[in-house]
Chains A and B, each alone.
Chain A
C-alpha cells in the first residue's frame, strides 16, 4: 500500500470518528446510551433553542425603528435566516456556485483558439444606446438590492445576479468591452475571504462560527443587524463575480 493511500485512509477514518461523535448524544440518566442514526436527541442541541424560542418572550414586542439590541436585528426575516442563523449553509451554497463557475471555465477554455461570440456582428443602435443608459442604473439597482438586503426584500444573491446581468448586457452591446480575468478572481477571492474571516472572528470572540459578534442596533435602520449586512455584501460581490465569470466565459472563450 502506498503511503498516500494510507494517509487518505487515516484522514477518512478520523473524519468518520468526528462525525459519529457529533451524531452520538450524551445520554441522560435512565436513557439508552446508543442513538439510532437519524433519531438523535434534540434536547442538548443548539437546534432545540431555535425550535422552542419565541420572539416576544424576551423583548415583549418588536417595534420598527424603536426596538434595539434584538437577537438578529434584521427587519427582513428571510435575511436573518439566510445570513445569520443558517449562514453556514449559505457559505456552502456560494461554494457550489463557485465550483460551477470554475467547471464552466475549465470546459470552455480547453480549446486554445478563442473566438468571441457575435464578433462579426455589430450591435444594433437601440441595444448599444439603451445599454449606455441602463448600465449604471442596473449597477445602482443591484447595489441597492444588496445593501438594503436586511431591511427590504432582496439580498446578496439577487443583487449579484442583477450586477451580472448588467455586465452581460454590456458585453453584448460593446464588442471591445473586456473584463480582466484577474479582477474577477481578486473580487471573488476577497469576498470569500471576508465571509470566512467574519465567521472565524465570531468563532474566536464568541465561541461559534459566524456568530453575530457586533451590536445589532435599532431594527429598521441601515446600520443595524451586526454582521448581517457585511455578510450580504460579501455574498453579493462573490455571486456577482461568479455569474459574471460564467457569462464572460460563454461569450469570450
Chain B
C-alpha cells in the first residue's frame, strides 16, 4: 500500500507542476482535475470515504467542468 500511495503522490505532484507550467489553460485545467482525482483516491486509502466522495464529485467532476465553461466564456491563452 505505501508503494501505491507514493506512486500516486508522485503522479499528483507531477500533475500539479504541469498545471502550473502548461502554456494552454485548458491543459492546466485537466491537470488540476487529475490532482483532485488522485486526492480522492488517497482520501479513500486514508479511510475517509465521505471526503473522497466529495472530492471526486465536486473537485474532480464539477469544478473541472465549471473551469472549462468559464474558460470558454473568457479569452483563451496563457495566464
Contacts and interface: CB of A to CB of B under 8 A. Distances in A.
Given A161-B61, A161-B62, A165-B61, A117 B69 contact: yes
Contact of B70 (A154, A157, A250): A250
Contact of A250 (B53, B58, B61, B66): B66
Interface residues on B, range: 10 to 19
Interface in A203-253: 243, 246-247, 250-251
Interface in A103-120: 108, 117-118
Contacts of A243: 62
Interface in B36-53: 49-50, 52-53
A127 to B, nearest CB: 13
A168 B58 CA distance: 13
Name the prevailing secondary structure of the B interface residues. helix
Interface of A is mostly: helix
A73 interface: no
Interface residues of A, number: 22
B50 A155 contact: yes
A170 to B, nearest CB: 13
Contacts of B73: 108, 117, 250
Nearest to B61: A165
A247 B57 contact: no
A87 interface: no
Nearest to A163: B57
Contacts of B52: 153
B50 A78 contact: yes
A165 B53 contact: no
A155 B57 CA distance: 12
Nearest to A117: B72
A79 B49 CA distance: 12
A220 B72 CA distance: 46
Most buried by A among B57, B61, B65, B73: B57
Interface string B53-65: 1100110011001
Contact of A168 (B49, B62, B72): B62
A110 B57 CA distance: 30
B59 to A, nearest CB: 10
B50 A165 contact: no
B58 A161 contact: yes
Nearest to A172: B65
A145 B58 CA distance: 14
Contacts of B53: 145, 153-154, 158
A147 interface: no
16 contacts: A76-B50, A118-B72, A153-B53, A154-B50, A157-B54, A157-B58, A158-B50, A161-B54, A161-B57, A161-B61, A165-B62, A168-B62, A247-B62, A250-B70, A250-B73, A251-B69
Interface of B: 49-50, 52-54, 57-58, 61-62, 65-66, 69-70, 72-73
